[in-house]
Amino acid sequence: MMRLTKTLKALSLAAGLTLAAGAASAPDARAAELGATDEPIKLAMLEWTGAHVTTRIAGHILQEMGYQVEYVTAGNYPHHAAVADGTIHASLEVWLNNAGDIYPKMKESGGLVDIGLLGLETNEGWLYPVHMKELCPGLPDWKALEACAEKMATAETFPKGRILSYPADWGTRSADMIAGLDLPYSAVPAGSEGALVAELRAAVAAEKPLVMMFWGPHWALAEFETEWVALPEYDPACTEDASWGPNPNAINDCGVDRPDVMKTAWSGFEAQWPAAWKFLEAFQMDKDEQAKLMLAIDKDGEDLDAVTKAWVAENQAVWRPWVDAAM
Amino acid sequence: MDEVHDPAEATQNTAPQPAGAVKIACRNVWKVYGPKPEGYFPDGSGRTDDPGALIQRLRNDGCIPAAADVSFEVRAGEIFVIMGLSGSGKSTIVRCLSRLVEPTAGEILLDGVDLLKMDAKALTDVRRHKMGMVFQNFGLMPHLTVLENVAFPLRVQGVDESARRKKALEMIALVGLEGREQAFPRQLSGGQQQRVGIARSLCVDPELWFLDEPFSALDPLIRRQMQDEFVRLQTMLHKTIVFITHDFLEALKIADRIAIMKDGRVVQIGSPSEIVLNPATEYVREFTEDVPMVRVITVAEVMERGDATPGSDGGSDGGSDGGPTVAPDMTLEAILPHFATADAPLRVVDADGRRVGRVTPQGVLKALAEHGERLEEA
Amino acid sequence: MTTAVDDDALAPAVAGRIDPVLGVWLAVVGFGLVCVLLRETAPWIAAFPDAWVLPVAAWTNAVMDVVVAHTDFLFRAVASALEWPMVALRDLLVWAPWPATIAVFAAVAHRAGGWKLALFTLVTLMYMVVVGYWEESMNTLALVGVSVPLSVAIGFAMGVLAFRSARAKRVVMPLLDLMQTVPAFAYLIPILLLFGFGPVVGLIASAIYAAPPMVRNTIVGLERVPPAVLESAAMNGCTKRQRFWWVEVPSALPQIMVGVNQTTMAALSMVIIAAIIGGFGDIGWEVLSTMRKAQFGQSLLSGVVIALMAMIMDRISAGFADRSRNADRTEDAPGAPFYRRRRHLLAAAAGFVLGVALGQVAPLFQDWPKALVVYPAEPLNQMVEYILVEWSAQIDAVKNAVLFFLMLPLRIGLEKAVSPFTFGFELTAPMIAGYWIAAALGAAALAWRGRVYGAIWLIVGAAVLYFGVSGLPWPAFMAAVVALAWTAGGLRTAGFALGALLFILLTGAWEPMTRSVYLCGLAVAICFALGGALGVWAAHNDRVSATLRPINDTLQTMPQFVILIPVLMLFQVGEFSALIAVVLYAIVPPIRYVEHGLRNVSPEAVEAARQMGCTPAQILFTVKLPLALPVIMLGLNQTIMYGLAMLVIAALVGTKGLGQQVFLALGKADMGMGLVAGLSIALVAMVADRILQAWSRRRSAALGLDAGDAA
C-alpha cells in the first residue's frame, strides 16, 4: 500500500514537472528530467568501506546535479528488501557472488531492478600474506601448495593443510577447488568476514602460515601486504568438463570467475528521478581509485565524507560526462 | 443439634442485654469447598434435618465444609465474638457476612434483607456505607501513607479530597496517631499499623464493624493495650460488632456474647460467664480450665436477689447509707477490693439506681467453690 | 564381547531390588548397547536418514509466503506507527546539544539513586562525547527509548491477561520460554518481510525478546498482593477497575519495577540486532562494522558504549524500583512546597535550557570537535597483537592440548580421536579391550559398594567418551535424555523431552543439534568448574567479590561480538575459539549464583558446623555447598541458557551446529529453516530447563526436610 501511494506520488510529481519543463523549453531527446528534487534519494550504505566510497561518490555527484541525498546504513542481505519496497532507493555495490537468496527473490517480486554493472574490476581467490613465501617457496604458483601442506596443518585438519574459506552460507567454492585441484588440504569455513580479517591480521602480526579465500577490492588488501595464489585461469568449461584443466579427472580445477558487481534500484526510481537514473546507469567505479580511498580511510583514519568530496572535486573529468549525458 | 444452643434462649438469663433489634443474622449458612457443592443444597436455604449426616456425606465425597449450618443473630450495639481455633471456620463465617466469601447455602440477613440476593452493585454499596472491617494482617496499602490509607474508602466512593482529608484526620486522631499522617505502613510498628487499619475501617462511619483477629499479630503487651483501646472506642461509638479471635481470654474480656466454633460448626453461644459456668461440651470446657473465675463470674450470678424498690429495707443489711454499691454486670474481680475494706454485704444496684439484691463474701466463695467442684468432677 | 561383562557386573547388585527408576536406567544402558552393536548393520540407527526428514521448513515457508502476501499491509501500518515516535525522539536527541541531554540524565539519575549515580551517569555520558560516539549513542538511545516502553507495555498486558485467566496463563507461560530462547536471528527474516526494512525490525525483535521478564514479574507481583489487601479493597467497596489500578497494581509495583529493570536490560542487549538489519546509524552498527573489519580496539570502544549505557539504565531503573519499595518521600509529600517536590524536574528543565543555550553560543557544546576526540583504539589493537606475537607458542600449546585431549574425544570419541598426531599413539585392539574392562571393573566395584547409579553413570560416561557425542546412535541418545527427564520430573517432563527431541529429529536438525549440545555442554562444564571456583572464592573474600562484580557486569552487557575478535585473533577460526567465546559469556551465572548461594546459607548451620569442629573445607563441602545446591542449580540453568544464546553468536567464528543453521537461514532469507533451527535451540534449552527445574525443586523440598531435622 505504501509502495503504491509512493509510486503514485512519484508519478504525479514527475508528470507535473515534465509538463512544466515542456512548456519552458524544448526537451532534449536524450536527456532526462531531474524529477522530484525535493524528495531525497536514499542510498544504501552497506557494511564495507569499498561500498562506502562508491556510494558517497555517487551521492556527492547526485547532489551536484541538484538532488537531495540521504545515506541509510543497511545490512547486506536485508537491504534488498528495503530497495524492493522503496525504503531505500538505490544500492550501488551489490556483489553478485554474495547477494544471498533474497536478491533474486526481490527481483522476482518486481520491486527491485538492476541498473547495470558497476564496472568494478574484481578479484577472488586464494590469498596469502607475503611472509608465506619463505614458508612455502614457489608461491604464488598454486602447485607450491602441495609440498607445504604439512606446514599448513593444524590440530583440526591434520594431516592435511588448512585453507580458511568463506562462511558456510557463502557456498563451498574453496572446498570444490581443493577437490578439483586434488590438493592435500581441507577447507575450514570462517564464520564471517570479520573472522577472515581477524585471521589475516593475526597471521601478519605473528607471521603465521595462512592461505584463505578472499576477494578484492577490499580495504584489507590495502592495509596488509598480500598476494593472490596463481590458479589456472577460470573458464566456464572448467566447471563442466572434467578433462579441462590441470586435473583431467575433475571439474573445478581452476580459479574463481571474477564476480560481477551490480547497481540496483527501487522499481519506481526511474520514474521519480529520471536524470538520476540516467546518471547511475553511466556511473562506474575504478578499482584502483577505490583502493586508494579505502586506504586513506581505513589505514590513515581520514574522514569518509571529506575524502570522497575531495575526489569528486578533483576528478571532474571522470564524472562530468556521465552527468552531461543524463541532463 | 443438642449442643447448639438456640441463640435467643442463650441470651435469656444473662445480665444486662443490649436492647437493640437484630442487626445481622446468619441462618443455616454453609460454605463448602469442592467440586459443585451447590448440588447438595437443592433449595439453597441450607436448612436440613440432620446437618451431621450431611457433613459426613460431603466429606466422603471429597468436599470440605468450612462452615456448616451456622446460625446466629447479632443485635445492634452488641459485641459478638466468634471464637475458635485455626481451621474452625470462624474467618470463613465473618467473610460470609460481607460476602468476601460467597456462602454455598443459607441466608445472611442485614436489617432483615437477604444479603445473598443482592446484586454486585447493591453489595458494593452496602460495603461502602454500612460495613467496616479490620484484618489480622492489617491489609494496609503499602504504597499509601497513613493519611491516604485511612482516606482510601472515601476515595473509592469519590468523595472530594478536602472532605476525605478532614474525615481521615479525625479518624487518625481518634486512634491516637496524630503526627504520623505522612508515614508509610512499613515505617510503623504492628500496633500502629493496626490503629491505621481501625481508623480506616471507621472512616465511613459503618453500622457494622467486623474485626478478624485484629490483635493476634501483636505482642502480648501491645495486644492488651489495643484491647483496652478497643473497649474505650466502643463505649464512644456503639457499633454493632462481630469480632473474631482464637484467644478465649480476649473473647471473655470484650464480648457481650460469644459463639464458639469447631470444625465449621457453632458449638455454643452464650455470655462469657454462661459459657464458663456451663460449657456445653467437653471441647468448650477445656478452654475454660485456665480461666480465672473471678474475672468471668459476674455479680448477677452470685447475688441474693432482693426487693427492687429503692431503699425499702435500707438499714437492715447495713452499709445502707454511703456504703459501696456494685452493678450486676461487674465481675467478681472488680468487687473483691470492697470486701477488703468492709465485711458487710454489698448492695447491688442496677443502671436505673434501683436496688436489685446484695452480695456477700460467703456467696462469692460458694460460687467459686462450686465451680471448682464441677471442674473436678469433669 | 566385553559388553556382556557390564551387564553381569551389575546383576548381583541389582538382584533383589525392584526400583522402577533403576529398572529404566538399566534398560537404557542395555538399549544403548544394542544400538551401538547394531549401528554397522543398520545404518539408520547411526544417523537418521535424510529421506525420513519431514520438510517442515518448506511447509513453513509456504504458509509464511501466503501470510506475508495477504497481511503485510497491516504490519506495515504498525511499522510506520512505531517508526515516527522513534524518528521524532532521535531527531530531538541528535538536535539537543550534549550538555543539555547530559543534564537531564544526571537529574533523572540523581532522583533514582542520589549523587553517586548522578556522577556515574555524568562520567559515562562524557565518555560517549569524548570518544566521539555521541550521535550514534543518541540514535541507540532513541531505539531503546521506544523499545523499552513497547516491551513494558506488551509485557504488562500479557502479564495481566495471564494473571486474570488461567487459560491464558497456560498459553502464555510456554510462549515466554520460546520468546526467550529462540534466538532473535531466527525470526529476523519473517519480521523483515512482514514489517519492512528499518529499525522497526530491531524494535519488534527486542520487544519479543525483552517482554518475558516483564510478563513474569507482573504475574508474580499481582499474585503476591496480600489477600488482606485485596479483602480490604473489597470491603471498601472498590469497583473492579478501582481495585486493579488503585490497589493491585500499586501493591505489585515493586515487583513490576524489577520486571521493568530486567526488560530494559534485555531490550538493550537486543539493540545490536537492529544493526544487523541497519537503517539507523546506531552504536550497534558501529560495533558490527568494526567487528567486520576485525578491529578490536574500535569495537571495544564502541562496545563499551553499549555496556555503559546498560549499566546506567540498570542502575537508574533499579534505583526507581528501590524507591517504589521503600520510598522516604517526606520531601515529596503533598505538604512540601512545589520547588522541593519537583526539584528534579526543575533541575532537568534548567539544565536542558542552559545546555541548549550553550550549544547556541559555542560550537564545542553542539558538536564535540574532532580535534578533541580521544580514541585509543590503536594501543588496544597493539596490545592484542603483542600478546599474539609474544605468546604465540604458549597459546598454541594450550589450544592443541584442549583440542586433542578434551574436545576431539568428546565430539568424535576416543574411537576416532586417538591418533599418532594427537595422542602420539594408535589405538590397538588390546587397548580397546583394556578400556572396556577397566570401565566394567570400575562399575562392578561401585555396584558392589551399593552405588548402583554410580556404576550406571560410569558406563554411560565411558560409552560417551569412547563413541563421542556425535557418534552416539540417536535412539540411544534419545532414550537417555527421556529417562533423565523422567527421573527428574516424572511423566510430563519425559513426555515434553520426547516431543522436543522428536521435533528436532524429524525436522532434520539432529546432527547440528548434537554438535551444539556437545559444544554447549563442554562450555557449561568448564564454566561451572572455573566459575564455581571463582564463586566460592568470592563468597569467602569480599575483595574478590568486589573485583569480580564489574567484570561480570561488563561481560554480560558488552555486545558479545566484541569478545569474538581477540578470541579469533589469538586462537583462529574453529571450535576452540567458539568454546572460549561461549565460556567467556556463560561463566557469569555460575560465579554469581555460587557466590549468592553460599553467602545465603543459614548462618546457624555454619555456626553449628564450626562448633562441632569442622575445618573450613569440611564446612564448605559438607554444609555450605549441599545447602546452596538448589540455588547453584538455578545458576546451572542460567549457564545453559547463556551458553545456547551465545552459540548463535559463536557461529560467526565458524562453528557447526544449530547456530550456524540460523545464520545460513538468515543469509538465504529462508524463514522456515531459520525458525526450525531457532526452535530447535529453544527446545534444547527448554528440555534442559525442565529437567533442572524439576530436579532443583525436589532437592529444595528435600533440603527443607533436612534443615528441619538438623534444627
Tell whether C308 is covered by a domain.
yes
pLDDT at B3: 43
Residue B366 and residue B264 in one domain: no
Q: What is the CATH number of the domain that holds B340?
A: 3.90.1280.20
Residue C380 within any structural domain of the chain: no
Instruction: List the one residue out of B146, B58, B275 whose CA is nearest residue C329.
Output: B146
Partner residue facing C196 (CB), from A85, A189, A220: A85
Contact A156 C80 (CB under 8 A): no
User: B358 and B263, same structural domain?
Assistant: no
What pLDDT score does C414 carry? 82
Q: Are residues B305 and B326 in the same domain?
A: yes
Residue B70 lies in a domain: yes
If you write DSSP's letter for every residue of C89-136 in order, what string do you get? HHHHHHHS-HHHHHHHHHHHHHHHHHHHHHHHHHHHHHHHHHHT-HHH
Rounded Cα–Cα distance for residues B285 and B374 (Å): 10
What is the percentage of chain C residues whose pLDDT exceeds 90?
16
Separation between Cα atoms, residue C313 and residue C265, nearest integer Å: 7
Report d(CA A225, CA B94) in Å as an integer: 89
Same fold: A2-120+260-326 with A123-239: yes
Residues in chain A: 327
Q: Are residues C597 and C448 in the same domain?
A: no
**Amino acid C687: pLDDT:** 92
Same domain, B263 and B330: no
Chain B: give the shortest CA distance to residue C234, in Å: 7
> Do the Cβ atoms of C668 and A198 come within 8 Å?
no
pTM of the model: 0.80
Q: Is the ipTM of this complex over 0.85?
A: no
> What is the average pLDDT score of chain A?
83
CA distance B96 to chain C (A): 12
pLDDT cut 70: percent of chain B above it? 88
Q: What is the greatest pairwise CA distance in chain C?
A: 92
> What cell does B235 get?
463505649
Show which of C303, C327, C351 is a domain's final residue. C327
Out of B291, B325, B354, pick the residue that ends a domain: B291
To the nearest whole Å, the CA of C260 is away from the closest chain B CA by 18
* Domain stop point among C312, C327, C342: C327
Considering the domain architecture, whether residues C484 and C531 belong to the same structural domain is answered as no
| Interchain contact B184–C (C-beta under 8 A) | yes
Domain ranges of chain A: 2-120+260-326, 123-239
Query: Could A1 and C663 be called an inter-chain contact, meaning their C-beta atoms sit closer than 8 Å?
Result: no
Q: Which residues of B touch C235 (CB under 8 A)?
A: 98, 100, 127, 131-133, 201, 210
Per-range mean pLDDT, top range of A148-157, A297-306, B179-188:
B179-188
For chain A, give percent helix, strand, coil, nearest 5.
45, 15, 35
Residues B320 and B225 in one domain: no
Q: Do C569 and A164 touch (CB under 8 A)?
A: no
For residue C54, what are the β-bridge partners? Answer: none
**B76 φ/ψ angles, rounded to the nearest 5 degrees:** -55, 130
| B85 and B33 share one domain | yes
- Answer yes or no: do C250 and B136 touch at CB < 8 A: no
pLDDT digits (tens, 9 = 90+) for B8-67: 443 333 434 445 788 999 999 999 998 888 888 888 787 888 888 889 988 888 888 999
| One domain, residues C299 and C249 | yes
- Contact between B100 and C229 using a beta-carbon 8 Å cutoff: no
Three-class secondary structure of residue A300 per DSSP: coil
Residue-number span of the structural domain to which B303 is assigned: 299-377
Domain for residue B183, yes or no? no
- The confidence score (pLDDT) of residue C151 equals 92
Query: Is the CB of residue C400 less than 8 Å away from at least one CB of chain A?
Result: yes
Q: Which of A189, A202, A220 sits opposite C388 (nearest CB)?
A: A202
Instruction: Report yes or no: B124 at the C interface, CB cutoff 8 Å.
Output: yes
Per-residue pLDDT averaged across B224-237, rounded?
A: 89
Across the interface, whether the CB atoms of A81 and C403 are under 8 A apart is answered no
Residue environment code for B271-296, b if the CB has 16+ CB neighbours within 10 A, otherwise e: bbbbbbbebbeebbbebbeebebebb
Q: How much is the average pLDDT of C523-551?
A: 91
Q: Are residues B257 and B282 in the same domain?
A: yes
Q: Do C251 and B200 touch (CB under 8 A)?
A: no
pLDDT tens digits, one per residue of C662-679: 887 877 778 888 889 999
Partner-chain contact B144 C237, CB within 8 Å: no
Distance CA A118, CA A285 (A): 6
In this prediction, residue A24 carries a pLDDT of 40
Q: How far apart are the first and last CA of chain B?
A: 22
User: For residues B370 and C485, which has the higher predicted lDDT (pLDDT)?
Assistant: C485
Residue B251 forms part of a structural domain: yes
The residue type at B287: F
Cβ distance of B156 and C242 shorter than 8 Å: yes
For residue B139, what pLDDT is reported? 87
Q: Is residue C24 part of a domain?
A: yes
pLDDT of residue C279: 67
pLDDT the model gives residue C594: 92
When mean pLDDT is compared across B202-211, C60-69, C276-285, the lowest value belongs to: C276-285
Residues of chain A numbered 191-250 and touching chain C (CB < 8 Å): 191-202, 205-206, 208, 219-220
Confirm or reject contact between C389 and chain B (CB < 8 A): no
C-chain CB neighbours of A72 within 8 Å are 278-279
Residue A33 contacts residue A274 (beta carbons within 8 Å): yes
Task: Tell whether C90 is covered by a domain.
Answer: no
**pLDDT at position A31:** 57
Interface size B-C, in CB pairs within 8 Å, comes to 75
Q: What is the pLDDT of residues A118-139, one digit of tens each?
A: 988 888 899 999 999 888 888 8
More confident residue, C388 or A62: A62
Q: How many residues does chain C have?
A: 711
- Strands in B240-245's sheet, in edge-to-edge order, are B131-134, B208-212, B240-245, B79-84, B257-262, B265-270
C513 and C500 part of one domain: no
**Residue C518 sits in the same domain as residue C493:** no
- Strand locations in chain B (E): 22-33, 64-75, 79-84, 105-110, 113-114, 131-134, 208-212, 240-245, 257-262, 265-270, 304-305, 325-326, 346-349, 355-359
Residue B161 clears pLDDT 50, i.e. is over it: yes
CATH number, domain with residue C157: 1.10.3720.10
* CA of C254 vs chain A CAs: smallest distance (Å): 40
C700 pLDDT higher than 80: no
A155 and chain C in contact, CB less than 8 A? yes
DSSP state of B344: S
Q: Buried b / exposed e across C276-303, counting CB within 10 Å, b at 16+?
A: bbbbbbbbbbbbbbbbbbbbbbbbbbbb
Model confidence at C704, in pLDDT bands (50, 70, 90)? low
| Nearest residue of chain B to residue C325 (CA atoms) | B143
**Whether B234 and B361 share a structural domain:** no
Domain enclosing residue C34, as ranges: 1-46+428-506
Contacts of C226 in chain B (CB under 8 A): 137, 139
Please tell me whether residues C498 and C576 are part of one structural domain.
no
Chain A / chain C CB contacts < 8 angstroms: 169
- Quote the pLDDT of residue A2: 43
> Where is pLDDT greater, at C669 or C92?
C92
Nearest chain A alpha carbon to C647:
A191
Q: How confident is the prediction for chain B on average, in pLDDT?
A: 83
C536, pLDDT greater than 90:
yes
C82 touches chain A (CB under 8 A): no
| CATH number 3.40.50.11540 given to A2-120+260-326 | no
Does C324 lie at the interface with A, CB-CB under 8 angstroms? no
Instruction: Please tell me the predicted confidence (pLDDT) of residue C332.
Output: 55
Residue B197, min C-alpha distance to chain C (Å): 9
- Contact of C249 with chain B, judged by CB distance below 8 Å, is answered with no
pLDDT in tens, B268-319: 999 888 888 888 898 998 888 877 777 778 888 788 877 544 444 444 444 4
Q: In terms of residues, how long is chain B?
A: 378
Q: Is A156 on the interface with C (CB under 8 A)?
A: yes
Closest CA to A160 of A196, A132, A188: A188
- Same domain as C493, residue C624: no
Out of A63-67, A98-102, C77-81, C91-95, which region has the weakest mean confidence (pLDDT)? A98-102
As a whole number, the mean pLDDT across chain C is 83
A169–C669 C-beta distance less than 8 A: no
Look at residues B291, B320, B352 and tell me which one is the last residue of a structural domain.
B291
* Exposure string for A226-244, b = 16+ CB within 10 A, e = fewer: bebbebbebeeebbeeeeb
Domain boundary residue, one of B229, B260, B291? B291
Q: Is residue B321 part of a domain?
A: yes
The domain tally of chain C equals: 3
- Inform me whether the C-beta atom of residue C237 falls under 8 Å from chain B C-beta atoms: yes
The pLDDT value given to residue C523:
92
Residues B240 and B115 reside in one and the same domain: yes
User: SS3 for A62-85, per residue?
Assistant: HHHCCCCEEEEEECCCCHHHHHHC
CB contacts under 8 A, C 289-328 vs B, are: 324, 326-327
pLDDT (mean) for C434-454: 87
C-beta atoms of C572 and A189 within 8 A: no
Within an 8 Å CB–CB cutoff, is residue A102 touching chain C?
Answer: yes
Q: Are residues B123 and B228 in the same domain?
A: yes
Are B365 and B279 found together in one domain?
A: no
pLDDT digits (tens, 9 = 90+) for A187-204: 888 877 888 888 898 888
> With an 8 Å Cβ cutoff, is C568 touching chain A?
yes
Find the helix or strand (DSSP H, E) in which C157 lies. Answer: helix C134-164
Instruction: Establish if B228 belongs to a structural domain.
Output: yes
Which residues, including other chains, have CB under 8 Å from residue C564's CB and lie 6 or more apart?
Answer: A194, A195, A198, C291, C577, C581, C649, C650, C652, C653
Q: Which of C188, C575, C652 sits opposite A192 (nearest CB)?
A: C652
Chains B and C touch (3+ CB pairs under 8 A): yes
Q: Do C545 and C491 belong to one domain?
A: no
Contact B58, B38 (CB under 8 A): no
Q: What is the pLDDT of residue C172?
A: 92
CB < 8 Å to C333, chain B: 145, 182
| Whether the predicted pLDDT of A286 surpasses 80 | yes
Residue A105 touches chain C, beta carbons under 8 Å:
yes
- Looking at the structure, tell me whether residues C566 and C465 fall in a common domain: no
Reading the block at residue A307, the C-alpha cell is 575524502
Rounded Cα–Cα distance for residues C502 and C508 (Å): 10
> Average pLDDT for residues C668-696, to the nearest whole number?
87
Q: Report if residue B152 sits inside a domain.
A: no
Give contacts of C253 with chain B, Cβ < 8 Å.
143
State how far the Cα of B33 lies from the Cα of C634, in Å rounded to an integer.
36
User: Strand A90-95 to strand A69-73: parallel, antiparallel, or no bridges (unpaired)?
Assistant: unpaired
* pLDDT, tens only, C112-132: 888 899 999 999 999 999 888
| pLDDT of C16 over the 80 cut | no
Q: Regarding predicted confidence, which is higher, A6 or B194? A: B194
Model pLDDT for residues A209-249, shown as the tens digit of each residue: 999 999 888 888 878 899 999 988 888 888 888 888 788 88
Q: What is the pLDDT of residue C18?
A: 57
Supply the pLDDT for residue C531. 92
Instruction: Give the type of residue at C450.
Output: G
Q: Is residue B157 part of a domain?
A: no
DSSP symbols for B112-168: TEEGGG--HHHHHHHHHHTEEEE-TT----TTS-HHHHHHHHHHHHT--HHHHHHHH
Q: Are residues C480 and C528 in the same domain?
A: no
Number of domains in chain B: 2
Q: How far apart (Å, rounded) are the C-alpha atoms in residues C396 and C570?
A: 9
Superfamily of domain A123-239: Glycine betaine-binding periplasmic protein; domain 2 (3.40.190.100)
Report how far residue C548's alpha carbon sits from residue C562's, in angstroms, rounded to the nearest whole number: 19
User: Do the domain assignments include residue B189?
Assistant: no
The residue from C327, C354, C384 where one domain ends is: C327
Q: Could you tell me if C236 lies within 8 Å of chain B, comparing CB atoms?
A: yes
As a whole number of angstroms, the distance between CA C232 and CA B199 comes to 13
Please give the pLDDT value at position B7: 42
The grid coordinates of residue A89 equal 532507493
Residue A29 exposure: Cα atoms within 13 Å on the Cβ side: 0
